[in-house]
Amino acid sequence: MTVLHLADEGEAADLAAFLSRLLHYDRGAAVRLQAAGTALAVFGRPPSFEVLAIRAVRLAKPYEDGLDVTLDVTVSAGELLETVDETAATAAVPGAVTGPPWAGVLPPRGGWQPEPGLPSPDALRATVGAAVAEFRSRTKELAPEGHNRAELDRIGRDIWSRSIGGTHLPVRAVHAAQSLGFLRPGGEPAQAEVGLFSSGAWLRLRTPYGSVAVRRTERTGLGALGLSVR
């Protein structure tokens, strides 16, 4: 079994926290791992948000001791979490699993350009808080016969598909970033460290703790991931 040597205990703890949050939303979650050099990228897709979450993890040494070898595999998030040793700052790569469709469609590695119009981190968190409050208020007002999954989904789509500020980024992407620990309270990260970028059909909200990516669709401008094998 391949053992990954992470940069330090903090990297191991952050990886474990990210995997735990993914499993909170999907107990059968899978993650795609890509490692090259001293960087490990962990991709996941929490179904509640319909976004792609990316956590970058620093490695203590180049993968496979710097040989011309890369790691690219889809594994069980739960099995990977079980192997994370925070004290030793290591994680063992479990056996590959049959990946869900999203695992074959990742954002491009390069070509990202800054997008204007992103509000401050405090304003982003306030927007998410207001959206959550609106969802709760509107669902409480439903008559008993109208309190069903279809109506809840309709209200959710109306709220979470709205755009943030002057961008095309949907509110659900910011909600995902906050829920996954990428957009932290208390004034961190600073505005300069949070950015919105685009590359081709993708938008990416990037923070020092991770990124959330969504893919444009022609019909809605930005909607659920329009999957096509890359």
**Domains of the chain: residue spans and CATH:** 3-104 (3.10.150), 113-215 (no CATH)
> What is the pLDDT confidence band of residue 216, given thresholds at 50, 70 and 90?
confident
CA-CA distance, 29 to 19, in Å (whole number)? 9
pLDDT digits (tens, 9 = 90+) for 46-104: 998 889 999 999 999 887 665 556 789 999 999 999 999 999 999 999 999 998 999 99
- Name the pTM for this structure: 0.87
What would the mean pLDDT of 32-47 be, rounded to a whole number? 93
